[in-house]
């Protein structure tokens, strides 16, 4: 390949959005960050006057400011189009959240953030309509109250007027693709995060939709990753002075990231590390059995022909919230500075499990960590460095706990851990993971989500032959680091402490 091709990856995460230009030439991919912008939620006042959860006062709801995101995306496309001919554009985002459109194609309201409290009690409500076991048997998706299923049920339960005028439900990446092209579809990988997809049949589950009394017509056609969606809307071509093609990568950011793992075989477990850590392995078919149900493991769509058997872990969320809390107190520390403080802190026995349920909501974490230490009969770390170290140690041990269960359920042992995504920048966590698991850890590429997105586009456009060639391109283009396990006895002791803490939490509740 001698002609340069230019691919644009729109990658929206829970904390920030990135628009990244990928230049492909002679088997190498070069990334250039075009634009980065904040994506966090905003508080939006609403008023409930319907259903059984009436609230005639004002209530603040967490929503995504999507009009701002859309303008940031358009500005980025225009900036690149002024200088280069964009071969194609691909969009990926976080999962589970969605937008509602009316019959004119208009956005009915701001998409609601998955951490909003509207899903409180909705799992129990769902199980009154269809059993928990049956939902899992159909979908193979882990139960989290933030899932699309429970968000949508909250609207139904409230007798929301929004749902009554909805013509189409679009997952977040599908909303952006609709605005870009006018095509209202549901890309499979992101649709699976809804917990409304039949994992074996590959379509929307009519059984679940009818049990929840959702309007069937709002669910759009499912299409596979790798689909060429089409050109930009004519009005956008004119506004942005850009003619290009929109391609569907795996639009769930985790699926795009996992596609960028630089491995030649399937003998590995992957960790997509960021605000959330997704821990999993690739399989040819969904794994849906009694063990996976009891342990709450999930099956999500990946690139074509790949099932991602995995589990969500609360990743660097705690560190992000601690940093925000300390900023409000007047100490503005970068993530690298916090990691260095943790590295310099003395070894300590305190282990913080990031998946403790009280850590899920936004807000100050120090008091919650102190409460966790009290329940688990541990000493509260004294310094900021010690607190972050305790969190990172706990995250590495949570990885071990999940991976051991993952391999047991799948009846498959692996030798290597691949860590991808922004969290790979935390080298202390990478080393803790190698130590805790006593396995080789390979990290990189850092911008795995954008890379997987771009490789998928290049395959669809015929510039890369297949995913194996894509792996070769990744290896030729990006830094890959290896971490080998070090000290063992102390980490075995810490793991036993982690397990003991789980027992104490269970007894406490």
Please tell me the distance from the alpha carbon of residue 377 to that of residue 65, in angstroms, as a whole number: 42
Superfamily of domain 254-315+397-489: ATPase, nucleotide binding domain (3.30.420.40)
**Tens digits of per-residue pLDDT, 222-255?**
999 999 999 999 999 999 999 999 999 999 999 9
Domain ranges of the chain: 5-253, 254-315+397-489, 317-393
User: Which residues are known to be catalytic?
Assistant: 253
Q: What is the pLDDT of residue 50?
A: 45
Cβ atoms of 251 and 189 within 8 Å: the answer is yes
Taking 50 as the pLDDT cut, the residues of the chain under it are 1, 50-51, 56-57
Could you tell me the end-to-end alpha-carbon distance of the chain, in angstroms, rounded to an integer? 61
Pairing type for strands 185-187 and 221-223 reads parallel
Fold of the domain built from segment(s) 5-253: Nucleotidyltransferase; domain 5 (3.30.420)
Domain 5-253 identical in fold to domain 254-315+397-489: yes
Q: Rg of the Cα trace of the chain?
A: 22
pLDDT attached to residue 2: 58
Which residues, other chains included, contact 215 with Cβ-Cβ below 8 Å and sequence gap of 6+? 163, 166
pLDDT value at position 495?
96
Q: Is 45 helix (H, G, I), strand (E, B) or coil?
A: strand
What are phi and psi for residue 184, nearest 5 degrees?
A: -100, 100
Cα dihedral: 457, 148, 411, 255 (round 10): 10
Instruction: Give the tens place of pLDDT for each residue, 282-338.
Output: 999 999 999 999 999 999 999 988 999 999 899 999 999 999 999 999 999 999 999
- Residue 56, pLDDT score: 47
> 96 with 146: CB under 8 angstroms?
yes
pLDDT digits (tens, 9 = 90+) for 9-40: 999 998 899 999 999 999 999 999 999 999 98
């Amino acid at each position: 390949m001698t002609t340069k091709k230019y691919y644009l990856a729109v990658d929206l995460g829970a904390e920030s959005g990135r628009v990244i230009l990928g230049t492909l030439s002679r088997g190498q991919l070069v990334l250039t960050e075009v634009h980065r912008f904040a994506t966090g939620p905003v508080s939006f006042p609403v008023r409930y006057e319907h259903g059984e959860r009436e609230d005639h006062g004002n209530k603040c709801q967490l929503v995504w400011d999507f009009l701002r995101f859309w303008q940031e995306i358009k500005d980025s496309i225009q900036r690149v189009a002024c200088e280069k001919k964009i071969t194609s554009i691909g969009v990926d985002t976080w999962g589970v959240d969605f937008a509602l459109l009316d019959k004119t194609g208009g956005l009915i309201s701001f998409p609601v953030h998955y951490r909003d409290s509207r899903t409180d009690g909705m799992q129990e409500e769902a199980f009154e309509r269809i059993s928990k076991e049956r939902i899992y048997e159909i979908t193979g998706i882990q139960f989290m109250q933030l899932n699309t299923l429970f968000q949508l049920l909250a609207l139904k339960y409230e007798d929301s007027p929004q749902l009554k005028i909805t013509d189409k439900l679009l997952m977040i990446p599908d909303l952006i693709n609709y605005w870009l092209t006018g095509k209202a579809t549901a890309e499979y990988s992101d649709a699976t995060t809804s917990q409304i997809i039949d994992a074996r049949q590959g379509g929307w589950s009519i059984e679940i939709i009818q049990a929840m009394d959702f309007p069937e017509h709002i669910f759009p056609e499912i299409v596979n990753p790798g689909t060429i969606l089409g050109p930009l809307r004519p009005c956008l071509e004119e506004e942005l002075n850009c003619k290009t093609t929109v391609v569907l990568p795996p639009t769930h950011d985790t699926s795009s990231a996992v596609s960028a793992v630089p491995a030649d075989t399937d003998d590995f477990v992957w960790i997509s590390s960021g605000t959330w850590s997704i821990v999993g392995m690739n399989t040819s078919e969904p794994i849906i059995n009694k063990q996976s149900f009891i342990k709450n493991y999930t099956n999500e769509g990946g690139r074509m022909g790949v099932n991602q058997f995995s589990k969500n872990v609360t990743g660097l969320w705690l560190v992000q919230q601690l940093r925000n809390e300390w900023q409000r107190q007047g100490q503005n520390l970068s993530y690298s500075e916090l990691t260095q403080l943790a590295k310099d802190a003395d070894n300590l026995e305190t282990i913080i499990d990031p998946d403790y349920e009280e850590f899920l909501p936004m807000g100050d974490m120090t008091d919650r960590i102190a409460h966790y230490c009290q329940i688990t009969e541990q000493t509260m770390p004294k310094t900021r460095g010690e607190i972050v170290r305790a969190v990172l140690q706990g995250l590495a041990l949570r990885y071990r706990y999940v991976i051991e269960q993952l391999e047991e359920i799948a009846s498959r042992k692996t030798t290597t851990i691949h860590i991808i995504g922004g969290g790979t920048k935390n080298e202390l966590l990478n080393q803790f993971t190698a130590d805790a698991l006593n396995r080789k850890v390979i990290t990189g590429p850092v911008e795995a989500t954008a890379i997987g997105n771009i490789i998928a586009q290049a395959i669809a456009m015929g510039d890369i032959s297949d995913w194996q060639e894509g792996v070769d391109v990744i290896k030729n283009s990006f830094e890959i680091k290896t971490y080998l396990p070090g000290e063992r006895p102390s980490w075995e002791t810490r793991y036993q402490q982690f397990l003991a803490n789980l027992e104490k939490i269970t007894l406490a509740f």
